[in-house]
Structure 1
Amino acid sequence: MRVILLLVAIIFSSVLSAQVVWIDPADATVDSTITVYFDATQGDQGLMGFTENVYVHTGVITTESYGNSDWKHVVADWGADDPNVLMTRLETNLYSLSYNIRSFYGIGTDETVLKLAFVFRNVDGSVTARNADGSDIIVPLQLNSDWVYQSFSNTNSGLIIQTSGGQVVLRDYTQAIETEILPSGNTSEPSYAIVAEPTGYPFSVNETGNAIFVEGEQMDLTIQKSPLKIYYIQNDTVTALKSFFTSDNGSGGLLTLDLDADAKLYGGGSRAVPFNLRGYSLDLYNQAHYGYSANVNNLNVSIPVFVSSEKVAWIFDNHHPGQVAVSGEGMTDLGYQANGGNLRFFVTAGDDLNIVSSNISNLIGKAPLPPMWGMGFIQSRYGYETQSEAESIVSQMRDADFPMDALVLDLYWFGGTNRMGDFDWDLSRFPNPDQMISTLHNQGVETILITEPYFTLESDHYNTISSLGYFAKQENGDPFVLWGFWAGDASLFDMSSPSARDWLWPKYENLLNQNIGGLWTDLGEPETHPAEMTHESGSAADVHNIFNNLWAEMIFENAQSMFTHRRMFNLTRSGYTGMQRYGTYPWSGDIQRSFDGLRSQIPIMLHMSISGVGYMHSDLGGFTGGGQNSELYTRWLELGAFSPIMRAHGTGVPTEPIFYDTQTQNYVRNAINLRYDFLPYNYTLAWEYSTLGIPLARPMNYYANSPSVLDDLGDQYLWGKDVLVAPVLAEGVTERLVYLPDGKWANYYSGQVWNGNTSITANAPLGTIPVYLREGGFIVQSQENLKTTKQYQSDSIQIKHFISADGQTSEQHWYHDNGEDPNNLLSGNYDLMTLTGNTIGTASSITLEVTENNLTAPERRMEFKVYGLNTPPEQLALNDHTIALSSSQSAYNQSLPAAYWNGTFLYVHFNWRDTTINIEFDSEPAGLDLITDRNGSNVLVAPNPIYNHSVVQIWVDQPAEYEFALMGVDGKIYGKANSYLFTGKQSLPLANISENIDLMHAGVYLLQVRSGSNQEVVRLVQTN
């Protein structure tokens, strides 16, 4: 039995519960006699106005429970006419029942009750009443704490607060503070989540009366002694540990943190719920849900990492099953319960969510770079049953002109369900696997093979593993057999055993030696994992959430050691905090083939991104249920074009685009082609994720400075910093509302410019996904018409750029390497290019330079496509050489370097290897560029194009001191002057500002004129 937890009353249920049911006394403990009141007008109103008898179906949630649905000590059978659970009618719609909690439920002295659970019913259970959302009604109980402050000590190992119940240890990690609660006799436990180390220095501490003030590297603490409470402060109060309680032997506990009443909350791993988690209770227990669609709180990946819209993050460093309860809007509790281990958590904060993401990644580790082929299109199905079928699919995809980089083989490669656990090819289905792998590879297609942790009794290795003791066991030490498991009677491999993992690795080594591209590790929640199962490292509960991480770590670490020139690609369904460190590429499980299923995917992807896992994706098209639906398939593939991994998969209907009608094929081909066009941009996003911890898909408020409607958006997202993606997620829809953040945004396809901080209606017929480019943004794209990423040479590149706002400079990077070597980041075997955009007045510039050059650069055919211009530039210079606009697209195509204006976009192309490129241009007539300040002064330079004898003419309204600066568009100063000017038309020789006008290179220059707080900028042209 689980040991007793001493807990306080905190909200571990929906805020709606208090409206439906309340108890008297409100602070009841397990030994209290209470009266339960039920208001039938609240909740789902299932019994409102009911005139017959009303009964309560009730139980308790204990520390043995895995969530609010896991009731213990249920009183009376469902549908029984039992007087013990008959409610007393006080008035219409109001009922009560009184009882002593311990005796009514039969609670033992060694059990801890956290909450009471209720559903109300008629006599036979055909009519019920629950919360408004259909969930069970949960009421927390009051419990007590004995953690009374005694003293503190400040050491290199942290600040240690001694209490009557044990120690609270605070450690500084520069960007975060760790808090570990150690009951008397407990020691710190190793972490499966955290890879960072504390600073190892004592805090700066000042004690005054009832408070201890602590200064950390970035975050400060205020510790209130009585009652014990800890405030975490960065600039303003960030959060607080309000209360905590541990079991009598230290195994598990519960704590309550302060959450800003207006803050939104995100993260927690894979959750098919809205993007804002306020009001939700979330189990921390990996669960497989077959055919789910929407409103499923708990799925295959539970990661106890949460981030608020106030730019605060909490990482709960405990892998045991538990629960997080997020109070509703306007309330301030963030509750966390762990069913084992020490209570330990980290707090970090930043000015923006991207800084918070980076801080989190510094704590839990960063992802390795993916193999470049993993960024291409991956085709899968349950499943390709023979070698001839697999080869035929690839040939048909190629013949239909679909780009493709990998084919996934489900369990038929080793013989089917009853052979689960085999690692050898079924030669009756795949007679020559080496030849198949080689043939596909030569077509640019990698092979990915599924494996599972369950071994059927018929599998080749079952008896060997059983004799070695490497299966999870019964209490008597025998293998735990899962009779009736869907693949056949089977046992679960014990991934918690180091020796078992050592035995298993050579099986994967053999597969990788066959030159497969990657692995598919399925069912690793584990999908079926009875509580009575035992492992070498502990109980099922002790191992459950980290099972898949142990599996992934074993594969990754060995592969990195033995296959030093290839990157690991592990397509996996489950995991825990830190899973990204092991080359894992998770998907969202067995999603229903429906628009509800599709709508769930963006929140899932964003919650995982916020949790530190950047490669979450879905079975494009949906996995199961429903028939073949061309519209749904198209819309899902459109989303897939802007997902971290683009992989079609499912069962029951075709998953390959070649089996759809011609129009659908065209739509899907365009989506996949768009994916390949974005390859350089997407690969750079992968580099950002590996180096900075910033995910590929980012929530809309990722760069926002203040609360807004962006905080709740879960149906659109940022793809990197510069691209906004708004997929169509509903059936029959050809337009949708899109909210644009601050700044200007350009339609990716048409170039139409919109002001931000507003919503627009986007035209989105089937086959079109709304995409927008941020002002100042860059998109580096391939123009190679790729059919596989192996064709990508980075030698034909188009860079889309939306010119920066006046007075602004924007910067973006472009990362390039060979796409294979796992050590490129460490060895420096890559190129890093920097793109800079700048606008002052009507003069804009674009700079392309190589900032890290360690590869032999090819000569690249470069093209810039410039957004945001209203008129064609009158002057354009490439590295100070003037380029006249071509008169036609044909003339442009036949010249290098050249520039062309098509009425919307400016195109500039040239050959480039590694020298710095600077493009300068304007969009106004060359003779006069006039800007009027707030006092009505005018500035004119003539003649312009300029010479030494050019004159600056100014119309002055009021006498004042004027400052003149002549500069390049890159900010370089060529001359300065000051002059006091009187009212009227005044003149100043340009040579008074700079004596070397005739010696300046051809290009665009700026004359900046200041008077007090007023400023004017005139664009000048030098034609030397």
Structure 2
Amino acid sequence: MKLRYLSLSLSVLLASCASGPAYHLDGNRLVLDKNGGQLVLTPLDEDAIQAEFLKAGAVQPASRALVPQQAVKAELTERGNTLVYSLPGMRAEIDKTSLAVSYYRGEQLLLAESSGFLGQEGVNLGFTLQQGEKLMGGGERVLGMDRRGHKLPLYNKASYGYTTEAAQMYYSLPLVISSQKYLLLFDNTASGEMDLGASQGDQMTFSAVGGRRAYVVVASDHFAGLTEEYTQLTGHQPLPPRWALGNFASRFGYHSEAEARDVVKRFKDAGIPLDAIVLDLYWFGKDVKGHMGNLAWDKAAFPNPEQMISDFKKDGVKTVLITEPFILTTSSRWDEAVKAGAIALDASGEPATYDFFFGNTGLVDVFSPKGRDWFWDKYQGLLDQGVAGFWGDLGEPEVHPSNLVHGEGSSDELHNAYGHRWAQLVYDGIGQHRPDMRPFILMRSGYAGSQRFGMMPWTGDVSRSWGGLKPQVELALQMGAQGLGYIHSDLGGFAGGDKFDPELYLRWLQYGVFQPVFRPHAQEDIAPEPVYHDAAIQKQVGDYIKLRYSLLPYNYSLAFENSLTGKPLMRSMLMQSDDVKDFDNHHSYFWGDAFLVTPVTEPGAKTVTTQLPEGTWFDFWTGERIEGGRSYSRATSVDTLPVLVKAGSFVPRVAPSQSTDSYSSKELTLHYWADPSVTQAQGQMYEDDGHTPDAYAKGQYQKLLFSAQQQAGLSIQLASQGRYPGMPQSRRLTLVIHHPGAVKAALLDGKPQHFARDADTLTLTFDWDGAPRTLDLQ
């Protein structure tokens, strides 16, 4: 982000004409008066403009999506009947008669209003779509990558047991990303609809039952830049604790302390790494129904929870608890919550109650100070007991009657912001009560910008079937491009399934190695944890989990990059290539910049086909060299996930540990895939203590920097920046160079070194204290 400054070059400070509106500049905002209201354009960044309609006599709700930005240089000029409002990266052209706004980047038209807010009843907005324009967005949907031609509800709603098509799901987002390289956010939290050319092929419309009349347009030369700019405007995901990248034991659910202790012991005995156990609703009640809202341990089933949590912690296992915003009238907390004023009200001002699957209930009002204070008090008590993370479930909310009245508006106006506000409550509370702790917040519903509260959404109650596995890449790539870089699935599938399918299970968990959160989770009819299956399954899954742990230096560096730029860990082919021909590809994806992954989603698959980007690629398992820019098919077996590595990639690895508590890079292996086609390459590894909040901003980190040049020979440079408490003072570095070519000598800072060599790799080991080093292969 460049340094922003306020500098307005004005042709007119205040103007009015018979055929057009009065307009003036208020600071760096352009304000136009017409039709009993004001159209206000505000530069949010060099490449982003917000448009708002301020209706006379009405209060415009504040944005829940945007975070404050620095001032931006802008220019206002006139060209006949057109006002031209220009930023360094884009401009808005406003017709003075109609006040219709069109947006340009250079000479390219990005999009144009067909019906702006002015003169509209309600909250309605329309744009003209261009011929051939493709649109992704709308949050979680299973409709293919291009969602043009669909009419989509803007209403977070559970989609139990979904498979290969779902138009309405847990986490809707009122935004689109266009093949014209713009992002459009309809900044409104209310129940609504987005019509992406379904009713009229060339029209994109947004509507809502009420709320904010505003939208934001972001422009970039690159598709990845749209996501980076959008997350700059709505807030970056904070770097999670390192353990969030480890393996989770999770199911619906562990009924007792004995069951929880058993699963942790089984992982330890099997030598399969484990970092967290997630306790579903049985921690506060013995039955599915009747107990939701207790938010206190069922001491009959969990007689000594604090000791259990402490014992798990000694083994490097963190405890994560489910919580829901529903307080049943049969729960032990109902009277307390009502007395505290924590429950959302009905139209008569009484605590609203209604029936849903789990019983007769009220809903915590996270939009009222009393509701937030009461709810946080329960979280604080659990934190004090040693709980390390929280799972917020049913936060659409799953049942949210229209007659509910919240502290900041009606349920229909605030519905899509409920999970967003809930995540903020937990995030802010942890920051105040435990400023030494990075939050871990697992939730399935939110709004634009929820990533800044540390929210890690998952794709909901997916069917435990091949049909459930198929859309997971599409969902992850869509949500990642829309700012939610930690979207993930219940590995193995959650809902249904009448018998264990080992092939499906293995394929899903293989994919999970290269997704942000590794959490097998399912209904308990079929165990989601590998330790309850036979020795062969334990070996196959255990090896993949160990691979994930060995990649922690690489994965943690991706998490760090996301925290600075918003770039997701899973990246679409489109995001990497910038070529519209890759817009629809949801079969393969990049894990960071190095790995190209193609999950197997068909039973009994013998071959897998990947549309390779340009360049040179290597099979991660066999080392085979492959030329890109074509369709590539390779044989596959149930043991092997198709993974390719891009030539010129640096990938740091460590020996897998039983838990990230034992993580250390003191023994570090650095892999480099060399090829004559790559003459210059760079890489980096980010490291800190894994738990200090804002470690990078505090200067408590180290970066290891790698670069390579290959012409007559191969030269690799190593350097480092920064320090943090507890870091290795020196590392035993093993450098593995794949496909180095003919090598007669290896010189480290000019001194000959012994190296090992086989057909595809060259390996040498030396001590490195972080000082600059150069390795030359001759």
User: TM-score, structure 1 length as denominator?
Assistant: 0.72
Q: 1:518-667 counterparts in 2 under 5 A?
A: 518-626=389-497, 627-651=499-523, 652-667=525-540
Counterpart of 1:703 in 2: which secondary structure? Answer: helix
Pair 1:461-2:317 in alignment: no
Compared with structure 1, are the counterparts of its residues 155 and 477 closer, same or farther at alpha carbon in structure 2 (3 Å cutoff)? closer
How far off its partner does 1:168 sit? 1.4
Residue 240 of structure 2: aligned partner = 370
Whether the aligned pair in 2 keeps the contact of 1:865 and 1:908 (CA below 8 Å) is yes
Deviations 1:929-955 (A, max 9, x none): xxxxxxxxxxxxxxxxxxxxxxxxxxx
Residue 302 of structure 1: aligned partner = 172
Residue 400 of structure 1: aligned partner = 270
Compared with structure 1, are the counterparts of its residues 262 and 481 closer, same or farther at alpha carbon in structure 2 (3 Å cutoff)? same
Counterpart of 1:596 in 2: which secondary structure? Answer: helix
Residue 164 of structure 1: aligned partner = 35
Compared with structure 1, are the counterparts of its residues 805 and 155 closer, same or farther at alpha carbon in structure 2 (3 Å cutoff)? farther
Whether the aligned pair in 1 keeps the contact of 2:322 and 2:393 (CA below 8 Å) is yes
Distance 1:319 1:550 in 2: 11
Q: 1:878-957 counterparts in 2 under 5 A?
A: 878-883=748-753, 898-922=754-778
How far off its partner does 1:637 sit? 0.4
Instruction: Identify the match of residue 286 of structure 1 among 146, 156, 163.
Output: 156
How far off its partner does 1:278 sit? 2.1
Compared with structure 1, are the counterparts of its residues 804 and 219 closer, same or farther at alpha carbon in structure 2 (3 Å cutoff)? farther
Deviations 1:103-136 (A, max 9, x none): xxxxxxxxxxxxxxxxxxxxxxxxxxxxxxxxxx
Counterpart of 1:702 in 2: which secondary structure? Answer: helix
Q: Counterpart of 1:519 in structure 2: which amino acid?
A: F
Distance 1:507 1:641 in 2: 34
Distance 1:228 1:219 in 2: 18
Greater Cα radius of gyration, structure 1 or 2: 1
How far off its partner does 1:341 sit? 2.0
Q: Counterpart of 1:509 in structure 2: which amino acid?
A: Q
Residue 251 of structure 2: aligned partner = 381
Distance 1:707 1:241 in 2: 21
How far off its partner does 1:765 sit? 0.7
Residue 677 of structure 1: aligned partner = 550
How far off its partner does 1:499 sit? 1.9
Pair 1:322-2:192 in alignment: yes
Residue 223 of structure 2: aligned partner = 353
How far off its partner does 1:247 sit? 9.0
Q: Counterpart of 2:764 in structure 1: which amino acid?
A: V
Pair 1:412-2:285 in alignment: no
Whether the aligned pair in 1 keeps the contact of 2:556 and 2:686 (CA below 8 Å) is yes
Compared with structure 1, are the counterparts of its residues 309 and 241 closer, same or farther at alpha carbon in structure 2 (3 Å cutoff)? closer
Whether the aligned pair in 2 keeps the contact of 1:472 and 1:493 (CA below 8 Å) is yes
Residue 937 of structure 1: aligned partner = none
Distance 2:607 2:220 in 1: 36
Q: Counterpart of 1:577 in structure 2: which amino acid?
A: A
How far off its partner does 1:614 sit? 0.5
Distance 2:673 2:108 in 1: 39
Compared with structure 1, are the counterparts of its residues 314 and 463 closer, same or farther at alpha carbon in structure 2 (3 Å cutoff)? same
Q: Which moved more, 1:158-167 or 1:168-177?
A: 158-167
Instruction: Identify the match of residue 808 of structure 1 among 661, 679, 682.
Output: 679
Instruction: Identify the match of residue 185 of structure 1 among 40, 49, 57.
Output: 57
Q: 1:1000-1019 counterparts in 2 under 5 A?
A: none
Instruction: Identify the match of residue 224 of structure 1 among 89, 95, 98.
Output: 95
Distance 1:341 1:237 in 2: 32
User: TM-score, structure 2 length as denominator?
Assistant: 0.94
Whether the aligned pair in 1 keeps the contact of 2:149 and 2:201 (CA below 8 Å) is no
How far off its partner does 1:213 sit? 2.2
Compared with structure 1, are the counterparts of its residues 237 and 753 closer, same or farther at alpha carbon in structure 2 (3 Å cutoff)? same
Residue 5 of structure 2: aligned partner = none
Counterpart of 1:396 in 2: which secondary structure? Answer: helix
Distance 1:427 1:313 in 2: 51
Where does structure 1 lack aligned partners over 5 or more consecutive residues?
1-146, 884-897, 923-1024
Q: Which has the higher contact order (CA 8 A, sep 6+)?
A: 2
Distance 1:251 1:778 in 2: 56
How far off its partner does 1:245 sit? 5.0
Distance 1:478 1:154 in 2: 46
Whether the aligned pair in 1 keeps the contact of 2:666 and 2:728 (CA below 8 Å) is no
Q: Counterpart of 2:231 in structure 1: which amino acid?
A: S
Q: Counterpart of 1:347 in structure 2: which amino acid?
A: V
Residue 563 of structure 2: aligned partner = 690
Q: 1:47-126 counterparts in 2 under 5 A?
A: none
Equivalent pairs counted in the alignment come to 755
Whether the aligned pair in 2 keeps the contact of 1:150 and 1:163 (CA below 8 Å) is yes
Whether the aligned pair in 2 keeps the contact of 1:172 and 1:217 (CA below 8 Å) is no
Whether the aligned pair in 1 keeps the contact of 2:279 and 2:320 (CA below 8 Å) is yes
Compared with structure 1, are the counterparts of its residues 328 and 763 closer, same or farther at alpha carbon in structure 2 (3 Å cutoff)? farther
Compared with structure 1, are the counterparts of its residues 881 and 555 closer, same or farther at alpha carbon in structure 2 (3 Å cutoff)? same
Counterpart of 1:712 in 2: which secondary structure? Answer: coil
Q: Counterpart of 2:540 in structure 1: which amino acid?
A: Y
Distance 2:253 2:553 in 1: 31
Whether the aligned pair in 2 keeps the contact of 1:267 and 1:606 (CA below 8 Å) is no
Counterpart of 1:853 in 2: which secondary structure? Answer: coil
Residue 481 of structure 1: aligned partner = 353
How far off its partner does 1:204 sit? 1.6
Counterpart of 1:767 in 2: which secondary structure? Answer: coil
Q: Counterpart of 2:380 in structure 1: which amino acid?
A: E
Counterpart of 2:425 in 1: which secondary structure? Answer: helix
Deviations 1:221-244 (A, max 9, x none): 222334443221222324233222
Whether the aligned pair in 1 keeps the contact of 2:21 and 2:97 (CA below 8 Å) is no
Compared with structure 1, are the counterparts of its residues 807 and 490 closer, same or farther at alpha carbon in structure 2 (3 Å cutoff)? closer
Whether the aligned pair in 2 keeps the contact of 1:261 and 1:329 (CA below 8 Å) is no
Deviations 1:68-98 (A, max 9, x none): xxxxxxxxxxxxxxxxxxxxxxxxxxxxxxx
Whether the aligned pair in 2 keeps the contact of 1:264 and 1:712 (CA below 8 Å) is no
Q: 1:132-151 counterparts in 2 under 5 A?
A: 149-151=20-22
Q: Counterpart of 1:340 in structure 2: which amino acid?
A: G
How far off its partner does 1:554 sit? 0.9
Whether the aligned pair in 2 keeps the contact of 1:496 and 1:536 (CA below 8 Å) is yes
Measured on the aligned residues, the alpha-carbon RMSD in Å equals 2.1
Counterpart of 1:701 in 2: which secondary structure? Answer: helix
Deviations 1:354-388 (A, max 9, x none): 22221111100011111111100111011100101
Where does structure 2 lack aligned partners over 5 or more consecutive residues?
1-17
Pair 1:848-2:709 in alignment: no
Q: Counterpart of 2:23 in structure 1: which amino acid?
A: F
How far off its partner does 1:857 sit? 3.1
Distance 2:633 2:217 in 1: 40
Instruction: Identify the match of residue 496 of structure 1 among 360, 364, 367.
Output: 367
Distance 2:252 2:280 in 1: 6
> Percent sequence identity over matched residues?
33
Instruction: Identify the match of residue 387 of structure 2 among 516, 527, 539.
Output: 516
How far off its partner does 1:805 sit? 4.8
Deviations 1:155-205 (A, max 9, x none): 31411222235221111122311111223334543110000336266x322
Residue 124 of structure 2: aligned partner = 254
Residue 575 of structure 2: aligned partner = 702
Residue 6 of structure 2: aligned partner = none
Whether the aligned pair in 1 keeps the contact of 2:37 and 2:118 (CA below 8 Å) is no
Q: Counterpart of 2:53 in structure 1: which amino acid?
A: I
Residue 953 of structure 1: aligned partner = none
Distance 1:473 1:707 in 2: 49
How far off its partner does 1:342 sit? 3.2
Counterpart of 2:722 in 1: which secondary structure? Answer: strand
Q: 1:822-837 counterparts in 2 under 5 A?
A: 822-837=693-708
Counterpart of 1:390 in 2: which secondary structure? Answer: helix
Whether the aligned pair in 2 keeps the contact of 1:700 and 1:713 (CA below 8 Å) is yes
